[in-house]
Amino acid sequence: MSYISAWNIDICLMQKKGRILVVDDNAGIRSSLKILLQMHFAAVELIPSPNGLPGMMDSFRPDAVLLDMNFHRDINTGNEGLYWLSEIKHSYPDVEVVLFTAYADVALAVEGMKRGAFDFVVKPWDNARMLEILSEACSGRLAGKSGRSRKAEPEPVREMYWGEGDDMLQLRRTVGKIAPTDASVLITGENGTGKDVLAWEIHRLSGRRTGPFVSVDLGSLTESLFESELFGHVKGAFTDAKSDHPGKFEQADGGTLFLDEIGNIPVHLQSKLLRVLQTRSVTRVGDTRQIPVDIRLVCATNADIPAMVRMGDFREDLYYRINTIQLHIPPLRNRQDEIIPLAGLFLKRFSEKYRRKVYGLAPGAEKALLSYRWSGNIRELQNCIEKAVILSDNSLLTAGDLMLPPLREDVQPGDLPDGDETLEMVEERAVRAAVRKYNGNLSLVAKALDISRPTLYSKLKKYGI
């Protein structure tokens, strides 16, 4: 071998950077990747099962792990991959994980990225794309080793986007007036309209802005934990009470307490909440001592609380206690001017978060966004843009990237030819039929439709039943 040839080989070896660990149970795939990756990275190890991950992570010390999503022939849920992703990120948070998945499991890979995966590669893979992703993963890790920190992921945006519509401008003026006060506020609106963001905006504009903002999702709070979570407990109050625990009211002292989905509180627990709001003091579970609390209360619901009051499912005195000021957020379909600007904000956020080179919306994408009904409101729009940014290979998001159902141009929603029905039309017919069948017994109607009473009230109001 000549001196020049040996020199060239040494240079090539010097240019190889990064240590890659591949975890895949397919021997053929491992063989192919071994040939490909050893040509481009400083060190490559391949193992057939994630059970060997703990030992290999300590001995090999990879910069990036290429992790398959499934490891059993008869199981293809992808849960194994998500489990081992969590294990790696928990024990080795600075090691990047790239998920290796079949095209049918792309949705799982998207979920994996939300849980901390660097990126994903779809089988059958493109060699150039594979090398680009693994090189970027290693570059971030190696930059951290050399003292150059990676750019931090952007924090979730909490800033309220108001738009220019009359309803939202009026809402903004009202918020400007009531935010500096300590008046209790009830925010109403459909799911996904941004009630939590508006609650934060009220806190931000208030004199309590330097205090805590504590949010509680009452819809996910079980009855057995209601008092403990809201009011706290003392050590020994029940079997698992290993120490004293301040509840959400105490945690929010000096700031704002946001109770989301307040319509979901069972009637027999509403009196306990009312008592605390009246006395402005809490008694922890297992204790007798009253603890004063200084909070500003903001609540939110998508239910028709007045209808619940009439039906005896919500205490009238509690309703008036939480409803000093009521604010209503209109659905996104009535705020057309906000759709494209909001999509742009989400696109910027997620392209930075997922390191995607996506810079804007193609005209066809804008048209598709404006034509869609957005029954899930802003939350649905956000999820749509997030998924599109992750999956797109384009610098501009196209209508195809959005994967929205097409809207026929010759008809409008609600004006379909005989034989076709919109989803809302089907839903309304089902609700009306159930009300007739059970002679207006809403408990039986809700049970038959498999929905909660607050949800049923909302639909009754929506369809004028």
pLDDT digits (tens, 9 = 90+) for 29-74: 999 999 999 999 999 999 998 888 888 898 899 999 999 987 765 4
The whole-angstrom separation of Cα 182 and Cα 362 is 45
Q: Is residue 409 scored above 60 in pLDDT?
A: no
Give CA separation, 49 vs 52, 54, 78, 120, in Å: 6, 11, 14, 19
Using the 8-state DSSP alphabet, how is residue 216 labeled? Answer: E
Task: Look at residue 103 in the predicted model and tell me its pLDDT.
Answer: 61
Q: Domain with 428 in it: what CATH number?
A: 1.10.10
Residue 145 has pLDDT above 60, yes or no: no
Q: Is residue 288 part of a domain?
A: yes
| Better pLDDT: 455 or 189 | 189
436 and 398 inside one domain: no
Is the pLDDT at 200 greater than 90? The verdict is yes
The pTM assigned to this predicted structure is 0.64
User: Are 15 and 87 in a shared domain?
Assistant: yes
Rounded to an integer, the average pLDDT of 107-130 is: 84
**H-assigned helices in 146-206:** 166-178, 195-204
Q: Supply the pLDDT for residue 248.
A: 94
For 80-131, give the DSSP string: HHHHHHHHHHHH-TTSEEEEEEEGGGHHHHHHHHHTT--EEEEESPPHHHHH
232 in the same domain as 308: yes
Closest to 380 in 3D by CA, of 334, 328, 343, 433: 343
Residue 389 included in any domain: yes
| pLDDT tens digits, one per residue of 230-277 | 999 888 878 777 888 899 999 999 999 999 999 989 999 999 999 999
State residue 417's pLDDT score: 43
Contact 259, 299 (CB under 8 A): yes
- What's the pLDDT at 408? 45
Task: Say how many domains are in the chain.
Answer: 4
Indicate whether 368 pLDDT > 90.
Answer: yes
Q: Which long-range contacts (CB under 8 A, 24 or more apart) does 455-460 make?
A: 455/302, 455/303, 456/431, 457/263, 457/303, 457/304, 457/307, 457/308, 457/311, 457/313, 458/302, 458/303, 458/304, 459/427, 459/431, 460/304, 460/307, 460/431, 460/435
Domain of residue 292, CATH code = 3.40.50.300
Give residue-wise pLDDT tens across range 372-391: 989 889 989 998 999 899 88
Q: Which helix (H) or strand (E) element contains residue 317?
A: helix 316-322
Residue 379's CATH number: 1.10.8.60
Quick one: pLDDT at residue 81?
82
Question: Please, how many CA atoms are within 13 Å of residue 256, restricted to the half-sphere of its CB?
Answer: 28
Is residue 99 domain-shared with residue 135, that is, in the same domain?
yes
Q: What pLDDT shows up at residue 434? A: 82
Residue 395 lies in a domain: yes
Asked, for residue 152, whether it belongs to a domain, the answer is: no
Domain of 31 in residue numbering reads as 3-145
Task: Tell me, yes or no, whether 263 and 384 share the same domain.
Answer: no
Confirm whether 417 is domain-assigned: no
Q: Are residues 139 and 18 in the same domain?
A: yes
Distance, C-alpha 207 to centroid of its chain: 29
Least confident of 13-27, 257-271, 337-351, 412-426: 412-426
CA 348 from chain centre, in angstroms, equals 17
pLDDT tens digits, one per residue of 154-178: 344 467 888 888 889 999 999 999 9
Confidence of residue 105 (pLDDT cuts 50, 70, 90): low
pLDDT value for 152: 37
Q: Please, what is the average pLDDT of the chain?
A: 83
